[in-house]
Amino acid sequence: MTDRRADFVQSLERGLAVIRAFDGEHPSLSLSEVSRRSGLTRATARRFLLTLVELGYVHHDGREFSLRPSVLDLGFAYLSSMGLPEVALPHMEALVTALQESSSMSVLDGADVIYVARVPTRRRIMAVSIAVGTRFPAHATSMGRVLLAHLRPADFDAYLASTPLTQLTASTVHDEATLRRVLGGVREHGYAIVDQELEEGLRSAAAPVRGSDGDVVAAVNVSVHASRASVEDIEQRLVPPLLDTVARITADLGTLTRRR
């Protein structure tokens, strides 16, 4: 801890806090709002905002601030280095074409899943829009269940110690004992199905993508409105092609690693 503190750059932490103050529900913010959402004083938030404006990452119209598209470069540099979206997208597109249901890929980031690839359909399945960079609580999503199920025990214990299992709908698993039991089933069956736990009317199935060393590096899902598929239908009609898709992605990742 002492070594970490000696090397810790607080100004970088504060700059990232300013960027994270913006999201899909708050695309434009006043200085006071950025200060409140980032936990920084107005003077500190103002300095970082004006620096980000100068660097081209933030736009200022004289009253409010908003992120510029160039801020995506920060995230896409990470996604590109992973190689996951490029490898996965052709297989996900084939899956969506076959099933006519949307598919996404995510990785675990703290207590959330963060979307790194997505192939939508014209069918809207959620009240909020989903895109690359969208975050949802891991415990209430099929992709999150897959990723949590394959954490090392110590890492999962740390997750539970720091994460409230918020109940988002009447169906959300929100107690530790039940979640542990559900994740055991995910490991046993090789996939997860979530029935209206993130949002009423949304069902999804997800399966793991593994790296060349066998570790789970991401999860891919298929999402469907509850009116179009029961849990049984998902198991019989959607899960088999989903498992085939993640197997193909895993195989391609292995080939890519060997070529490197």
In a domain, 78, yes or no: no
Q: What's the pLDDT tens digit per position in 39-55?
A: 999 999 999 999 999 99
Please say if the pLDDT value at position 256 is more than 70.
Answer: no
| Number of domains forming the structure of the chain | 2
Closest by alpha carbon to 117, among 238, 218, 210, 187? 218
Query: In whole angstroms, what is the distance from residue 89 CA to residue 91 CA?
Result: 5
Same domain, 104 and 37: no
In a domain, 108, yes or no: yes
- Domain that includes residue 208, residue range: 83-259
* Mean predicted confidence (pLDDT) in 18-33: 92
For 143, phi then psi, to 5°, come to: -65, -40
pLDDT number for residue 1: 42
Better-scored residue on pLDDT, 123 or 131 = 131
Query: Rounded to two decimals, what is the model's pTM?
Result: 0.70
Q: What's the pLDDT tens digit per position in 183-214?
A: 999 999 999 999 999 999 999 999 999 988 88
In a domain, 205, yes or no: yes
**CATH number of the domain that residue 33 is part of:** 1.10.10.10
pLDDT number for residue 129: 74
Same domain, 59 and 119: no
**CATH number of the domain that residue 217 is part of:** 3.30.450.40
Q: What's the pLDDT tens digit per position in 150-169?
A: 999 999 999 999 999 999 99
CB atoms inside a 10 Å sphere around CB 9: 8
Query: Is 218 strand, coil or helix?
Result: strand
Better-scored residue on pLDDT, 54 or 255 = 54
Please say if the pLDDT value at position 107 is more than 70.
Answer: yes
Closest by alpha carbon to 117, among 69, 68, 82? 82
Better-scored residue on pLDDT, 244 or 122 = 244
Query: In whole angstroms, what is the distance from residue 216 CA to residue 226 CA?
Result: 28
pLDDT number for residue 80: 53
pLDDT number for residue 2: 44
